[in-house]
Amino acid sequence: MRYRVLGKTGIQVSTHCLGTMMFGSVGNPDHEDGARIINAALDAGINFVDTADMYSAGECEEIVGKALKGRRDDVVLATKVHFPLGEGPLGEGRNRSGNSRRWIVRAVEDSLRRLDTDWIDLYQVHRPDHTTDIEETLSVLGDLVTAGKIRAFGCSTFPAEDLVEAHHVAERRGLMRMRTEQPPYSLLARGVERAVLPTAQRLGMGVLTWSPLASGFLSGAHREGRPVDLTTGRARLTPHRFDPAAPGNAAKYAAVERLVALTEEMGCTLPELAVAFPLVHPAVTSVIIGPRTMDQLTALLKGAELLLDDAVLDHIDEIVPPGTDLYRADGVWQPPSLTNETTRRRPPGDRAAAA
């Protein structure tokens, strides 16, 4: 296992980070099995564990907390805040999400309790929240560092312009800065190469990338012309990404076939190539692997030993050109500029005047 410094934090982390989204009711509900997988990853040299409060509605954090008993001091522990966790009558769930001071000060205490720890090494804002001033978010996160509840903070799936704004506001207001970014990045989703990764690099941010297997599409289990089971694994969670009849998926299946041919020439598996690829980019510190079973962990760890030469990278560029996304990689979140039609349509009364 190799290690790199996480941005300018001075914290050394393994180049592969254990992602835990698949532990709990959404994936593997066996807490003891989850703990065994986590400890096996630590035994293999991984010292970086990433989770989030919304994974299985907090259950995942509880599994991680149990697994790290007796090993906490040697682990760089990261979790995230933003997505809603509760609903109820009289709007009880309305302020239980987002990036406001009101929610973050509550959410961090809940995460500390579930993780059964006194501190979080990296606390990440899971998605942008354009209803909250970024100064408000940076201010409360800085207060949490001062209070000793977190050691550093960062963000996840922020567009480049939001990274720049956060750093500009921090500099102008004398606030602590976002130290890391966590974008989706894979052989099939290379869009972050256009602006996010270069921007993070210029700003001195550490980068931990998620979904190297493209939500399971690069697992090797989904091949062109073969029956697709949409009731199990990641296909059960996001069937539209795997349905061969869905628009856009044909390009993904075709790319997978060409990538499989490449791995056969190399003598490795498709998952091994997938988890090795993000680490080639000079902006990337660590790539998150998210196994559900021990066998998956063992298979993914083999990618930690794989080094890619220029000939292989040139071949990959031919299959999926740099900066190209073959699917929308950022999951369910979209910027308000796309989801709110009032942000891109003048009011009817103004349209004639503007013509």
Give the tens place of pLDDT for each residue, 49-61. Answer: 999 999 999 999 9
Q: What is the DSSP string of 120-183?
A: EEEEEE-S--TTS-HHHHHHHHHHHHHTTSEEEEEEES--HHHHHHHHHHHHHHTPPPP-EEE-
Q: What is the pLDDT of residues 230-271, one digit of tens each?
A: 666 665 666 667 777 777 788 999 999 999 999 999 999 999
Segment of 119-128, 218-227, 332-341 carrying the highest mean pLDDT? 119-128
Specify the higher pLDDT residue, 53 or 336. Answer: 53
Q: What is the pLDDT of residues 173-220, one digit of tens each?
A: 999 999 999 999 999 999 999 999 999 999 999 999 999 999 888 988
303/269 Cα distance (integer angstroms)? 9
- Whether 349 is covered by a domain: the verdict is no
Identify whether the C-beta of residue 165 lies closer than 8 Å to the C-beta of residue 133.
Answer: no
- Whether 256 is covered by a domain: the verdict is no
The pLDDT score that the predictor gives to residue 238 is 67
The pLDDT score that the predictor gives to residue 234 is 61
- Whether 353 is covered by a domain: the verdict is no
- Three-class SS state of 32: helix
CB atoms within 10 A of CB 97: 19
What are the structure tokens assigned to 241, written together?
């990404």
> Residue 55 catalytic?
yes
Domain span at residue 155? Answer: 3-220+273-343
- Whether 146 is covered by a domain: the verdict is yes
- Whether 292 is covered by a domain: the verdict is yes
190/10 Cα distance (integer angstroms)? 28
Q: Is the pLDDT of residue 145 over 50?
A: yes
- Whether 201 is covered by a domain: the verdict is yes
- Percent of the chain residues topping a pLDDT of 70: 91
Specify the higher pLDDT residue, 346 or 164. Answer: 164
Q: Is the pLDDT of residue 166 over 60?
A: yes
The pLDDT score that the predictor gives to residue 91 is 45
- Three-class SS state of 7: coil
Q: Is the pLDDT of residue 87 over 60?
A: no
**Distance spanning both ends of the chain, measured CA to CA:** 61
Q: Is the pLDDT of residue 90 over 50?
A: no
Catalytic residue, candidates 3, 55, 123, 327: 55
The pLDDT score that the predictor gives to residue 332 is 61
- Three-class SS state of 78: strand
Give pTM, 2 decimals.
Answer: 0.91
Average pLDDT, the chain: 92
- Whether 354 is covered by a domain: the verdict is no
Domains: count for the chain: 1
Give the alpha-carbon dihedral of 182, 253, 228, 30, to 10 degrees: -20
Identify whether the C-beta of residue 128 lies closer than 8 Å to the C-beta of residue 115.
Answer: no
CATH number of 39's domain: 3.20.20.100
- Whether 286 is covered by a domain: the verdict is yes
- For residue 346, the number of C-alpha atoms closer than 13 Å in the C-beta half-sphere is 8
Instruction: Classify residue 118 by burial, with Cβ atoms within 10 Å: 0-12, 13-18, 19+.
Output: exposed
Nearest-10 crossing angle of helices 134-146, 101-115: 40
Distances (CA, A) of 187 to 127, 162, 275, 277: 22, 24, 9, 7
Identify whether the C-beta of residue 47 lies closer than 8 Å to the C-beta of residue 318.
Answer: no
